[in-house]
Homo-oligomer: A and B are copies of this chain.
């Protein structure tokens, strides 16, 4: 029986592990936390830290192939390990996608659309390049950020000058950054592609994402854009996957603006401008929506690639719209739910027929903004699916009194 190692034990690892098992193989998890969600879904998990080269090597050595469910494992550590297990997508892909500067350079070098940006050793050194910046800008650390962590919006040149003034600049953190033009977003979208070892290429439908406080809030599918824009996004996502050399799955996140085409680096069709924001060479939280909406999920696609099973063509259920809403720790905190317990779901009774999926990750500790679960609704229009998802979530938010 084939053994597949997953580096990381969060909800994405949990759902991937379950898919691997349903494809007749065994999944193994590596995560520092023995209480990580995925550890409950496998027979074998190794719980040690990301710096433990001995444990990582031993883990990989017992697997036929490996993948990862989050990309903040330094690729250098992985590259130095003593094992012969293939890792998909390759560490070359990870090297690019886990560093924003590398990612932007990749987009630039491959003529893939992207927002104009400037790279800098740290925030202070932005001063030298101030005249090249198109304001407003977002300053992002090149490594380690997720869910909007280590990001800073600077609206005007004057604001940046003030930030860099001697009295304030001392407090600025010193790490490599990129400063990118903050465009006036019409929509955020994502597109997952799946590429097998023997050249099969599959593309998922395009998702429409809404972020609140930089955290993914809802994903609706299919995205409310004309078919030619959908096709252009899918084509760009596939081009990027091929150029990156991905074997596995890749989530490409897009920014979409309308009408104003301020910058040349966009991919423009009619009044729509497309920009690739960033990549995740792994299952993605927006891809949760594939479980109930498509004939195969992002997890199935990756399992099949890892196990040499034909991927298939992901197709959304006809004439249906789906909306995934994240359930954040705030609901648990509002309900004053004890550690390790689930929230009171009794309010679901009122809406139970329309929720096609409720997944709780079983994280023991609720924190504000922490992804604790998600729900998916289905409706005859995009609007109805979305209204329903928000209604159900609001009911959960307000159900502490029912407890």
Contact surface of A with B, Cβ cutoff 8 Å = 1-2, 14-15, 18, 21-27, 37, 39-43, 45, 292, 295-296, 307, 309-313, 315, 317, 320, 340-342, 345-346, 348-349, 352-353, 355-362, 364, 373, 378
Contacts and interface: CB of A to CB of B under 8 A. Distances in A.
B40 A295 contact: no
Among A15, A21, A310, A349, find the residue whose CB has the most chain B CB atoms closer than 10 A: A21
Contacts of A40: 21, 26-27, 42-43
27 contacts: A1-B364, A2-B342, A14-B21, A14-B22, A15-B22, A18-B18, A18-B21, A21-B37, A21-B40, A21-B41, A23-B342, A23-B358, A23-B360, A24-B342, A24-B360, A41-B41, A42-B43, A43-B43, A43-B45, A292-B295, A295-B353, A295-B357, A309-B342, A309-B345, A309-B348, A309-B358, A312-B353
A366 to B, nearest CB: 11
A311 B92 CA distance: 46
A295 B355 CA distance: 7
A24 B362 contact: yes
Given A24-B361, A310-B346, A356 B42 contact: no
Among A18, A359, A361, A378, find the residue whose CB has the most chain B CB atoms closer than 10 A: A18
Given A26-B40, A42-B43, A43-B40, A352 B310 contact: yes
A317 B317 contact: yes
Contact of A355 (B22, B37, B312, B359): B312
Q: Give the number of copies in the complex.
A: 2
A18 B41 contact: yes
Contact of A295 (B14, B18, B307, B378): B378
B362 A1 contact: yes
Given A40-B42, A43-B40, A22 B352 contact: no
B360 A22 contact: yes
A352 B309 CA distance: 10
Nearest to A294: B356
Given A21-B40, A24-B361, A41-B42, 15 more contacts: A1-B340, A1-B364, A14-B21, A21-B41, A23-B359, A23-B360, A24-B373, A26-B362, A295-B356, A295-B357, A309-B342, A309-B348, A310-B345, A311-B352, A312-B348
Contacts of A356: 295-296
Contacts of A309: 342, 345, 348, 358
A363 to B, nearest CB: 8
